[in-house]
Amino acid sequence: MRLIGVVLVLSFALMSTPRDAETQQAGRVYRLGILSPGMRPRPSTAATPTVLPMVLREMGYVAGHNLVIEFRFADGKLNRLSELARELVQLRVDALIAASPPAVQAAKAATTTIPIVMMLAYSDPVELGLVATYARPGGNVTGVAMAAEPAMAGKRLELIKEVVPHATRIAVLSTGETPSRIQVQWVEKAAATLGIKLIVVELRDGDYDGAFASMVAARADALFVVESTILSTSHERIIQLAAKHRLPAIYDWREHAQSGGLIAYGGSLPSFARRAAVYVDKIFKGASPEDLPVERATTFELVINLKTAKALGLTIPQSVLVRADEIIQ
């Protein structure tokens, strides 16, 4: 993640001329709302609010020219999402991107007419009642959902155990979001078969220092970070604290390993954002969300950061290296 105001939006207006600007309606200015439960990321951070404007620009939507992006961040306070969603509705955005199930639920409660493009990772939108079916979502919600599979949690736990074979106590950093808690349940099942004791730490009010203090006090040998928009938008902070406390950690998005995390196994945020941008483009051009099937994202990548491994005094097994899609030296 995690996941910006006028300064960030305008920063993308200085990039190269878009290829498809001629496809937009002459003189039309589109307004896009982005609702996130996370914190406002820095412009250099690989997060949805920073990646998406770049992707949209490639499609001909230029911030400050024919596109206005309204960002709303809950800063980890899920109870603020409803208020923020209503603000975006009052601004009469043409479409609304909601990152995470709580954000989609808040947006859905705020409007039945404005198209909502959801970006969900490891969550089933049908099971959560966000859409009727993948093929025919119905209503005003559609978008992209990464496969929600308990096996994914097991694979990630196996990976960190393979890299840190002496680890018998592994901390799990989670949030108050329902999907995060479901992921914790998946990890608990996997841990039972691997003989691992889990130390579940739920982030509260953005207190990352306190969360890591709990892990250290419980003598955690490694860290498993669940997928969460809240955690993703603050991933640099998590990576810094993991390094400070010498905790080998596994993350979800490859961008987290590229930012200094030890291991990442999951999707690619740019490709995820690109798929969401396709929905935005279709909606801007007149498509109805009820006629746009929900896309399942099923491609996963393994990224290893050898520089971080060296700093932690770890040797990555060859059996892991040969499976990596990217190795950062």
Average confidence score pLDDT of the chain: 87
Local structure of 321: helix, strand or coil: helix
Indicate the burial class of 120 (C-beta count within 10 angstroms; 0-12, 13-18, 19 or more).
buried
**Percent of the chain at pLDDT above 70?**
88
Q: Do domains 6-148+268-297 and 150-267+300-328 have the same CATH topology?
A: yes
pLDDT at residue 135, as a whole number: 95
Of the CA atoms within 13 Å of residue 98, those in its CB half-sphere come to 32
pLDDT at residue 19, as a whole number: 42
Task: Give the integer Cα–Cα distance in Å for 280 and 275.
Answer: 9
Residue 45 has pLDDT above 70, yes or no: no
pLDDT at residue 119, as a whole number: 92
pLDDT at residue 48, as a whole number: 60
Structure tokens at 312: 């932690």
Other beta carbons within 10 Å of 34: 26
Task: Give the integer Cα–Cα distance in Å for 63 and 29.
Answer: 9
The domain limits of the chain are: 6-148+268-297, 150-267+300-328
Q: How confident is the model at residue 288 (pLDDT cuts 50, 70, 90)?
A: very high
Beta strand 30-36 pairing with 67-73:
parallel
Q: How confident is the model at residue 85 (pLDDT cuts 50, 70, 90)?
A: very high
Structure tokens at 123: 């969550």
Local structure of 191: helix, strand or coil: helix
Lowest mean pLDDT among 114-123, 173-182, 217-226: 173-182
Contact criterion met (CB below 8 Å) for 232 and 251: no
What's the CATH code, domain 150-267+300-328? 3.40.50.2300
Better-scored residue on pLDDT, 43 or 171? 171
Q: How confident is the model at residue 248 (pLDDT cuts 50, 70, 90)?
A: very high
pLDDT at residue 10, as a whole number: 31
Closest CA to 323 of 293, 307, 301: 301
CA dihedral 50, 52, 56, 62 (to 10 degrees): -30
Q: What is the pLDDT of residues 130-166, one digit of tens each?
A: 999 999 999 999 999 987 667 888 899 999 999 999 9
Contact criterion met (CB below 8 Å) for 91 and 32: no
Q: What is the pLDDT of residues 188-199, one digit of tens each?
A: 999 998 889 999
Contacts of 185 (CB under 8 A, 6+ apart): none
Residue 43 has pLDDT above 60, yes or no: no
Residue 75 has pLDDT above 90, yes or no: no
Contacts of 231 (CB under 8 A, 6+ apart): 1, 2, 38, 173, 175, 203, 225, 238
Contact criterion met (CB below 8 Å) for 219 and 169: yes
pLDDT at residue 200, as a whole number: 97
DSSP 209: H
Residue 104 has pLDDT above 90, yes or no: yes
Q: What is the pLDDT of residues 219-245, one digit of tens each?
A: 999 999 998 888 887 889 999 999 999
Residue 124 has pLDDT above 80, yes or no: yes
Better-scored residue on pLDDT, 185 or 13? 185
Mean pLDDT to the nearest integer, 5-33: 52
pLDDT at residue 12, as a whole number: 34
Give exposure, 35-70, as e/b (b: 16+ Cβ within 10 Å): bbbbbbbeeebbbbbbbbbbbbbebbbbbeebbbbb
Residue 269 has pLDDT above 70, yes or no: yes
Lowest mean pLDDT among 40-49, 177-186, 278-287: 40-49
User: What is the rounded radius of gyration, in angstroms, for the C-alpha atoms of the chain?
Assistant: 20
Contacts of 59 (CB under 8 A, 6+ apart): 18, 20, 277, 281
Mean pLDDT to the nearest integer, 65-92: 94
Mean pLDDT to the nearest integer, 56-73: 93
**Percent of the chain at pLDDT above 90?**
61
- Concatenating the DSSP letter of every residue in 278-318 gives HHHHHHHTT--GGGSPPEEE---EEEEEHHHHHHTT----H
In words, the CATH class of domain 6-148+268-297 is: alpha beta
pLDDT at residue 42, as a whole number: 61
- pTM, to two decimals: 0.78
Contact criterion met (CB below 8 Å) for 223 and 215: yes
